[in-house]
Structure formats: structure tokens, C-alpha cells
Structure 1
């Protein structure tokens, strides 16, 4: 297995991982709400654009590590600094790709489930594997590599958010050493996605 930094040409694979992660066995994700796409192909095309904008939003390819086995991309992990990849940066990216029509909806959902993250933590997201490659240590390898870089930047705490009811994802994070810190129930989130809200997890290293 090889772990490497993502490149701009990895955008199609990253879009696939972002959509897979954000849907997490639901019918729709936050990206379906933002883009109001008519098909998965359209949603993926817009997420691809989002990973390569000038504004470095949290989906930007530069925040990702990719796992490869025999030259095939099999897993991803995004780690970003919330003080850099802010809500404002995300909105700038949406404007850049002319997809900001539903920005208010996005902000409303985000604000209703906001944990007010400590800006001195690193946030993990989109930790995913492709089907057929589950449980071969991919996520652990991605996380170890990411934590190594995080230590060099002076970080000591990594955080992640998982939907209440997303049991498989929660189990993955707990296996990697994350602990539950807070729960936040949110009516708007439940109304949009059928999940009661979010769980904040943390890992000290």
C-alpha cells in the first residue's frame, strides 16, 4: 500500500469519495442540497470542480491523502484546519464555480448543527474506502500518515463529526481511537436528511 498526497488530477476519485462519505447510506447529502443536481453524474461533476477551486475550501484536493494498492486508488482521508477552511472560504468556492444559489440553505443547516470547533484542532473528514477493499488497514494507514504531518504543524488534537445513526462510520472512528465528546440534535438536519444530528469525536495524539 502507498499513501500519497492527492493531486488536482485526482478530482474524479475524490468527488466519488466525498459523495460516498457525505451520503453515508442516506438518500441525499449536503451536496445534493447545495447543487440541486438532476443526477449523480451532475453532483459528482460539481464536487470535482469544488476540489480544484482557487479558494482552498475543506473539499480542496490539497487537504487529501490517497491510499493506493497496485496503482489503484482505494481510500481517502481529508484533514483540514478550520481556521483556514472556513464557511466563508467554502462560499467563495461555490461562487467561483457559479453554484452558490443554495448557499443560504447550506449555511442554515451548518449553523443549526454547529459545534463551534476549536480553531487549534485538525478536522478529519471523508475517511472512505472503495468497496472490495474494506478492513485491510487502509484507514489506519491514512490516519497515521495524516497525524504525522499534523504533529509537525503543532497539532495535538484531531476532531471529526459523524451523523447520529451512522453506526458503521462511528465504529470506524472508535476503532481508530476517537472518543465521543458531544452530541447535537438538530430538527432541521433531521428534516433534510432523516438523521437526528451530529456527534463530535476527538482524538489526542
Structure 2
């Protein structure tokens, strides 16, 4: 089974929206975007996320930050890599405003940011590493990561990090198999109340 890794284009926005939503839910009933767009169904949220990948403000969700994995011409996985000095909290907030996400979101975002790490701007961040159901454990995520790390080296990066929720055991195990180690964790009662997980874990790798 041959896996092709390519740079995402604007035409991938619909697929990226699905993977972003899948990633933020991470086995939970509701993720960040469910809470930001509460009282709306999946089709509405996916439409907003598709627009989010194409905003003028280059948040971490912008399609230009993504790699796509393909098997036999079918998109089967994603991995986002972004530079914290470019895709900042402020950029993300601006992108959300661009897609009309302004009302009653400050509390959710405050909780989301209150349980977060101060990002080192000399590192490359990974996020939204996802596979389509039916294509798990065929090497998609490993291929995506290898390609991303190669690109990161060419840009001069030597440290990669990712942030996962405490309790996301499959994600933690996979990242550790790739050479990541736990650098820190934050437990927040407010995060648990809103998102259903006790907090966040920072994983890091030198390469």
C-alpha cells in the first residue's frame, strides 16, 4: 500500500475541516469547535471550519500549514505543522472573527488558553494529526511525521513539540514511539469542567 504525502491546497479545505473536527473531539463528545458553535449541527460546524482553513489571518488551521496523506488518490490523513511566531493566539482569534465566531466565545477561549503552555517560538508545533477510519495503523501518521520533520530541518528547526490532552493515551503512545517525551503538563479544574479532560500535556523532541 503506497502512501503519498503532499502539501495541502485550498481544494482540500473540506477534508481538512473534517480532520480538524475529529482531532479536537479526540474521543470526547464535544471539542473546542463544538463549544464555540454550540446549538449548531455538524454540517454548520464543518462549513465554518472549512472557511477557517482559508481565512486571511494565517492561524494554525490555515490549509497552508497542512500535509495530506493519500492512498490510491484518496485523502486518508492530515498533519499540521505551524510556527508559533506566526500562528499566534491573536492570529487564531482574528481568524475566528473572520468566520463570524464572535458571540459568547470569550469564556470558552479563556478556559482554553488558561490551561496552555508558553510556546517557544524557536520550535515547530504539530497538531491535527488524524487518519480516516479504516486506514488506522497502516503507517500514515509515521509517513506524515517523517515528511514534516524533513521540511522542518530544511527551515532550520531542531525542536518539535505538540500539545495533547491528558488522557489521550493513543496519541501519547504514538508520539512517544516517534521519539517525543513529556516535557510538562498542566492540570486545570476549569478545563476539566468545560472540556472533560483534566488538562494538557506538552511533548517535545529534538531532531
Structures share fold, TM-score greater than 0.5:
yes
CA deviation after TM superposition for structure 1 residue 3, in Å:
0.3
**After the TM superposition, which parts of structure 1 deviate over 4 Å for at least 4 consecutive aligned residues?**
none
Secondary structure in 1 matching 2:182: strand
- The number of equivalent residue pairs is 205
How has the CA–CA distance of structure 1 residues 107 and 141 changed in structure 2, closer, same or farther, with 3 Å as cutoff? same
Query: If the length of structure 2 is used for normalisation, what is the TM-score?
Result: 0.96
Aligned mates of 1:105, 1:73 — CA distance in 2: 35
CA RMSD of aligned residues (A): 1.0
Of residues 136, 146, 165 in structure 2, which corresponds to 1:163? 165
Residue pair 2:108, 2:194 contacting (<8 A) in 1 also: no
The answer for the alignment partner of 1:133 in structure 2 is 135
The unaligned stretches of length 5 or more in structure 2 are none
The answer for the alignment partner of 1:31 in structure 2 is 33
Of residues 177, 180, 195 in structure 2, which corresponds to 1:178? 180
CA deviation after TM superposition for structure 1 residue 110, in Å:
2.9
Residue pair 1:184, 1:199 contacting (<8 A) in 2 also: yes
Q: Does 1:46 align with 2:48?
A: yes
Aligned mates of 2:141, 2:104 — CA distance in 1: 33
Aligned mates of 2:65, 2:39 — CA distance in 1: 25
How has the CA–CA distance of structure 1 residues 46 and 170 changed in structure 2, closer, same or farther, with 3 Å as cutoff? same
Of residues 10, 13, 22 in structure 2, which corresponds to 1:11? 13
Query: If the length of structure 1 is used for normalisation, what is the TM-score?
Result: 0.97
Q: Does 1:79 align with 2:81?
A: yes
Within a 5 Å distance, the mapping from 1:60-139 to structure 2 comes to: 60-139=62-141
CA deviation after TM superposition for structure 1 residue 191, in Å:
0.1
Query: Which stretch of structure 1 is more off in the superposition, 104-113 or 156-165?
Result: 104-113
Aligned mates of 1:158, 1:114 — CA distance in 2: 17
Aligned mates of 2:102, 2:55 — CA distance in 1: 13
Aligned mates of 2:122, 2:39 — CA distance in 1: 35
Residue pair 1:28, 1:193 contacting (<8 A) in 2 also: yes
- Residues 33-91 of structure 1: CA deviation (Å, up to 9, x unaligned): 11224211111111111001011011000000000000000010000001100111111
Secondary structure in 1 matching 2:164: strand
